[in-house]
Chain A
């Protein structure tokens, strides 16, 4: 009997939870705020679903009841992607070591 592709996706999912578990425990507590903003940014990879939804029309019309939700989701996810990565960048740039000359 062939294995349902769902099982493969489930395996990836479960293994990723474990990867996430170990990776996140190794994050230094002083970087927990950037961790939240960057996880925010990467979870906006949901934009791939939004793009598929927005381009889903076959009959030539650009806006339909289903694609309009796609376009709205694109805006929301884009705010998050740009906002999330840039604010993380801004925060990380502030973390500096002690200057040696002091």
Chain B
């Protein structure tokens, strides 16, 4: 296949990827968008086969390895529960990162095959691109592995901090720049391996100080990195499809990180430097005083809801942990039968990844036009009778609006307290991720329901 024709076809697949993302602007067009994405991928892979034009026994092996990976991927995709999506996405990011590292290594060892020169005499520009691709890929890999372990609960979600952490990270980043510079002047393979090893290390060190509830930012950031790694490799291979895709994914992840940071009213650097939550433990201990709370049972909750005309449900990460989304839908079905208007309010950082709650509600067959974002629904709380908070905490804390001393001051929160009554499902009075007490617990109109989210929801349904 001529180089020009394949370049044009790579461009076509890049455009199809753009359309795939464009489709996600509404659920109706999204399925078609995904098909565009698949078509783009098929074109890119086919063109690569045709342009390499090597259909010897090696080709058979490529197909075999391709199907092995494909089967594993398909198996995971069908088996994974929706509550585990954050882990899955983190895991997938690590694979993109590692694949980028492998391609860069292969190009470094055998630059002839890629038309980049000979070993020890690689074109300068290609070497720089290769080094960037490998370093960013390695950071993506080790960072995503840590994110995966934290989300999966294998590693504690608590931030891990130590003295001199930021200084160490800064030194390592400078070291990476130096290694890249010397690699370019000496072409030494030892430096190349060191560069990769050090990049693995920094990826690991960057993610460990970041706590569990900041994971939405971390996942989006790693999403972005995986894109930049792909773009770096795309420059090395002089491949348009990869360059376009890398840029798309890179900017997509960056925008998501931005949206998540805004949802917490924290700067990106504040999140990345980490340690949030852990540092606030001391504050929590000081201000701990006994305040009266009203607590109730499923019967009380059912009574309140039965007499309401509109109910707003506020789901959070606790709903995912308790797998309560189906029980919740059943409760809402019963409410709707009694002509009670029900809607869902989703905070941008609810859950462990962007859009996490929306997927879980969709899984439980909740129509997406009953689910609203913070800005769309926040004014409705004042007119609603009951707010049902299930598994959310910090995102409902009125302190964010009233107390400038609070670590979450200025964070956009759902105006849950404006409802006539608030039902708060929670296992105990323990503070949320930010380590601060939720003022909502002690409000006159709040009824605490101390129980597992799923069990409580089921009990309420029985009592309705």
Contacts and interface: CB of A to CB of B under 8 A. Distances in A.
Contacts of A50: 99, 102-103, 106
Interface residues of B, number: 118
Nearest to A95: B27
A92 B113 contact: no
B77 A83 contact: yes
A16 B250 CA distance: 10
Nearest to B70: A82
B31 interface: yes
Nearest to B336: A102
B24 A34 contact: yes
A65 to B, nearest CB: 6
A96 B367 contact: yes
Given A83-B76, A87-B80, A77 B69 contact: yes
Given A38-B21, A66-B110, A73-B103, A16 B252 contact: no
Contact of A32 (B82, B242, B354): B354
Interface in A1-50: 5-6, 9, 12-14, 16-21, 23-50
A51 B234 CA distance: 13
A48 B238 contact: no
A74 B370 CA distance: 42
Contacts of A38: 20-21, 24, 33-34, 37
Contacts of B37: 38, 41-42, 85, 88
B155 interface: no
Contact of A87 (B61, B77, B105, B245): B77
Contacts of A19: 18, 247-248
Interface in A63-81: 64-67, 69-81
A87 B88 contact: yes
B335 to A, nearest CB: 12
A33 B52 contact: no
A75 B64 CA distance: 9
Contacts of A24: 21, 248, 251-252, 255-256
B355 A31 contact: yes
Contacts of A6: 125, 235
Contact of B230 (A32, A45, A69, A99): A45
A75 B69 CA distance: 4
Given A36-B223, A49-B242, A92-B27, A30 B54 contact: no
B365 interface: yes
Contacts of B245: 42-43, 45
B69 A74 contact: yes
Interface string B219-257: 110010011011101111111111111111111110110
Given A78-B68, A95-B30, A51 B58 contact: no
B251 A21 contact: yes
Contacts of A64: 110
A12 B48 contact: no
B131 to A, nearest CB: 15
Contacts of B442: none
Contacts of B109: 65-66, 69
A28 B85 CA distance: 18
B355 A53 contact: no
B48 A48 contact: yes
Contacts of B65: 54, 71, 74-75, 78
A20 B359 contact: no
Given A41-B41, A62-B57, A67-B106, A33 B62 contact: no
Contact of A91 (B10, B233, B253, B359): B359
Contact of A69 (B59, B80, B105, B238): B105
Given A20-B251, A43-B249, A62-B58, A95 B362 contact: yes
Given A13-B231, A48-B10, A67-B106, 19 more contacts: A9-B235, A12-B240, A16-B243, A19-B247, A21-B255, A31-B355, A37-B85, A39-B249, A42-B41, A46-B242, A65-B109, A70-B102, A76-B69, A78-B65, A80-B99, A82-B74, A84-B73, A85-B77, A94-B362
Closest 9 CB pairs of A and B: A78-B69, A56-B113, A32-B355, A83-B73, A82-B73, A16-B247, A66-B110, A32-B354, A86-B77
Interface of A: 5-6, 9, 12-14, 16-21, 23-58, 62, 64-67, 69-99, 102
28 contacts: A18-B251, A23-B18, A28-B25, A28-B27, A33-B355, A35-B252, A35-B256, A36-B220, A36-B354, A38-B33, A44-B96, A45-B13, A46-B100, A49-B233, A49-B239, A52-B52, A64-B110, A65-B110, A70-B102, A73-B106, A74-B69, A75-B65, A76-B99, A76-B102, A78-B69, A85-B77, A97-B368, A97-B369
